[in-house]
Chain A
Amino acid sequence: MLTLTHYLILSFILFAIGVAGVMLRRNIIIVLMSLELIFNSVNISLAAFSYFLRSLNGTVFVIFNITVAAAEVAIGLAILVTVYRARRTVNVDEIDELRG
């Protein structure tokens, strides 16, 4: 029998994988993909809460999140392409314009 806890554990695992991806991977595309993973872990937990608490609010949030994530990816990829064109690299270590 699947309980809320199972979902939350799944969500946590996905979240942890996402965070690790963001922090550790050097390829900016992988970093973006990891960010998507974090989004989706959050979406899973929201959907799970919505189901077990019998409230539609969570589902609405999920729909919004997916929409926003789609838009965000579109912008993120566009920036990525531009950065690549300018710098000829996708390695985040090399992109350190803001270093003090």
Chain B
Amino acid sequence: MIEYVWLVPLLPLIGAIINGVFGSRLSKTTVGVIASVMMGVSFVIACSIFVKIISLPADERSFVVSVYNWMTSGSFSVDINFLVDPLSTLMILVVTGVGFLIHIYSTGYMHHDKAFWRFFAYLNLFVFFMLMLVLGGNYLVMFLGWEGVGLCSYLLIGFWYEKKSAGDAGKKAFVVNRVGDFGFILGLFLLFWTLSDMGISSLNYNEVFSHVGSIDPATITIITLLLFVGACGKSAQFPLYVWLPDAMEGPTPVSALIHAATMVTAGVYMVARNNALFSLSPFTGEVVATVGIFTALFAASIGLVQNDIKKVLAYSTVSQLGYMFAAVGVGAYTAGVFHLMTHAFFKGLLFLGSGSVIHAMSGEQDMRKMGGLHKHLKFTSTTFIIGAIAIAGIPPLAGFWSKDEILWEAFSKGHIIIWIVGLITAGMTAFYMFRQVFMTFTGACRADEHTKHHIHESPKSMTVPLIVLAALAITGGVFGMPYISEGGTLLHHFLSPVFTHAGEAAGHAVAAASHASDADAHLMLERILMAVSVCVGVLGIFLASLMYYEPMKKYAPAFWNADVMGKKFAGLYNLLYNKWYVDEIYDAVIVNPIKRVCDRCLSFDLGVIDGIVNGAGWLTRFSAWLSHKFDIYIIDGVVNSFATFVAFDARALKRLQTGQLQNYAMVFVLGLVIIIGGYILGY
């Protein structure tokens, strides 16, 4: 089965081509079926690959499937090849699985859209590029996917391009991603350059990773930092996160698939894939972890006060991505990938749930105008609350296990500050998620009469994916649950061959077991920390309920009220509400200076360059005018005067031609007489 892995990305590509080329002529049902079936078959193939992989011994779970020789130049050659190993298998399962559910959801959500076929063509194309990214067996194929998902993200954010804000958001996402990609490309170039100096002219991961050990540590640090810049752009980390909240202008399934579940995790995947490089540079690890945990806290703080249902989820996504980076930064790659997976489930679920709410509210996204929707949207609200519990870190849902593993890894590896900040962020996450739940689903409905009248549960095509994702959000933690298998979690065992470079194979549990005397204390500590993080999550929910849940409000102290707090800490509130003014700072520091430079360049263009061009044009016209006059008066004058002279002579001479035969005869005879006369007279 593994040799057919190329079918996994190929099928969505075929779907994209069919829908892209013929979609406008096909019915909506056909378009939806084509797109979803391609994804479904892709998912089935991915599943069978997964089954095949786990049936093999752990150290034989890596295959390179070469499909096509892309380019060859001397000894340098790049194939389109796919690396099938536990990490990429896990990624394709998540991408095709969540992608399949979101495709089905979209057939319902986008049903009223006139560009239905275009949406599915883009969506399929996105999945194709995403699969190329995670399956690619060398850096060039990964880069192809990396750029491709950026393109599709741009296309889908700006899907409703008639809306100016959507077009602007698309452009912003593209430009900010370019900044990151620039770092990424530089990192790749530096890596190739360094390797080719060592005589290695291959871009395949296997060969690169087996040689990185001999690269100078300083170079490794620069390479990894540059790659991390790329990851910052793609995975929305500070300071390049600004595009993700704006990307919520796109249709909600897009937000769920691209800007929560898959594309934004590409950076995390990339760091995990390159663990051989990153583990060689402790400094980069520190940077990654610091940026990650800072982003987590920073984005969560903004999420606390946002009123747009999707904006809250967007900042939550940025925050959770920060968590993942904190994990991979401290070297806990498994934990990072585990959180990536569970996050795909519960954040996909939350986004789709919010889409269902927006669908019911006739497009309204402001939570202040919602409330009491639980009565009308039973499925949506139940699944949404499951997602919220999962992200808040309440056991035994998926989010708890992955978040807790990250916190534990940070703590056990000695990053106490990251642990503390992570804990605070976890509390904030629980708070803003339940603020959202209470504002949306409980209390009295604050919508206007017209909207209220239209509130309805979404169709089956939308609720079924919600239920499936909710099931995954509940059970997804099993793979990473500690203590159910010897020496580390299931996922840990599964992924360990990929992370051997990082020296993570042994795992902390095994290390602990080898020091049997420490083992009990170790286990105790882990349980205490687990309890602490659960308490923090519950505390966040409790505080949110005091502030926003009607039946609980009466127990709250007087100052614990959204309006009172907003007034009391007006400065802080405004700072958070306006997202720390980061967009404004960027405008002032980067965008506006660039615009001013552009204005200067424009003036220079208009004044000097256009002046020169226009001057040259004017000179040409002037010389043309001169030569025109010369032609008319001098050249034509000479020619005309010749003609006039000839015509004048001709008028005189034509009198001789009388046409009278006898005149000619007379002249003839006279001539004869003169000649003969002259002859006779002896001249």
Query: A interface vs B, CB < 8 Å?
Result: 19, 22-24, 31, 92-93, 95-100
Query: Taking A19-B669, A23-B669 as contacts, is the C-beta distance between A100 and B662 under 8 angstroms?
Result: no
Report the minimal beta-carbon distance from A37 to chain B, rounded to whole angstroms.
Answer: 14
Separation of A98 and B662 alpha carbons in the complex (Å): 13
Q: Is B641's CB within 8 Å of the partner chain A?
A: no
Report the minimal beta-carbon distance from A24 to chain B, rounded to whole angstroms.
Answer: 7
Report the minimal beta-carbon distance from A25 to chain B, rounded to whole angstroms.
Answer: 8
Query: Taking A19-B669, A23-B669 as contacts, is the C-beta distance between A97 and B662 under 8 angstroms?
Result: no
Given contacts A22-B665, A31-B662, A100-B659, 15 further A-B contacts (CB under 8 A): A23-B662, A24-B662, A31-B661, A92-B660, A93-B660, A95-B659, A96-B659, A96-B660, A98-B657, A99-B658, A99-B659, A99-B660, A100-B655, A100-B656, A100-B658
Query: Using Cβ atoms and an 8 Å threshold, which residues of chain B touch A19?
Result: 665, 669
Query: Using Cβ atoms and an 8 Å threshold, which residues of chain A touch B669?
Result: 19, 23
Q: Are B659 and A23 in contact (CB under 8 A)?
A: no
Separation of A97 and B660 alpha carbons in the complex (Å): 8
How many contacts A-B (CB < 8 Å)?
35
Q: Are A99 and B662 in contact (CB under 8 A)?
A: no
Separation of A93 and B669 alpha carbons in the complex (Å): 18
Query: B interface vs A, CB < 8 Å?
Result: 653-662, 665-666, 669
Query: Using Cβ atoms and an 8 Å threshold, which residues of chain B touch A31?
Result: 661-662
Separation of A95 and B664 alpha carbons in the complex (Å): 13
Query: Taking A100-B653, A100-B654 as contacts, is the C-beta distance between A22 and B662 under 8 angstroms?
Result: yes
Separation of A95 and B653 alpha carbons in the complex (Å): 20
Query: Using Cβ atoms and an 8 Å threshold, which residues of chain A touch B657?
Result: 98-100
Separation of A72 and B656 alpha carbons in the complex (Å): 28
Which residue in chain A gives the minimum CB-CB distance to B660? Answer: A96
Report the minimal beta-carbon distance from A88 to chain B, rounded to whole angstroms.
Answer: 18
Separation of A32 and B657 alpha carbons in the complex (Å): 22
Which residue in chain A gives the minimum CB-CB distance to B653? Answer: A100
Query: Using Cβ atoms and an 8 Å threshold, which residues of chain B touch A96?
Result: 658-660
Give 20 A-B contacts (CB < 8 Å), ordered by A residue: A19-B665, A19-B669, A22-B662, A22-B665, A23-B662, A23-B665, A23-B666, A24-B662, A92-B661, A92-B662, A93-B662, A95-B659, A96-B658, A96-B660, A97-B659, A98-B659, A99-B658, A99-B660, A100-B654, A100-B658
Which residue in chain A gives the minimum CB-CB distance to B657? Answer: A100
**Which 5 pairs show the lowest CB-CB distances between chains A and B?**
A100-B657, A99-B659, A100-B654, A96-B659, A98-B659
Separation of A19 and B656 alpha carbons in the complex (Å): 21
Report the minimal beta-carbon distance from A41 to chain B, rounded to whole angstroms.
Answer: 14
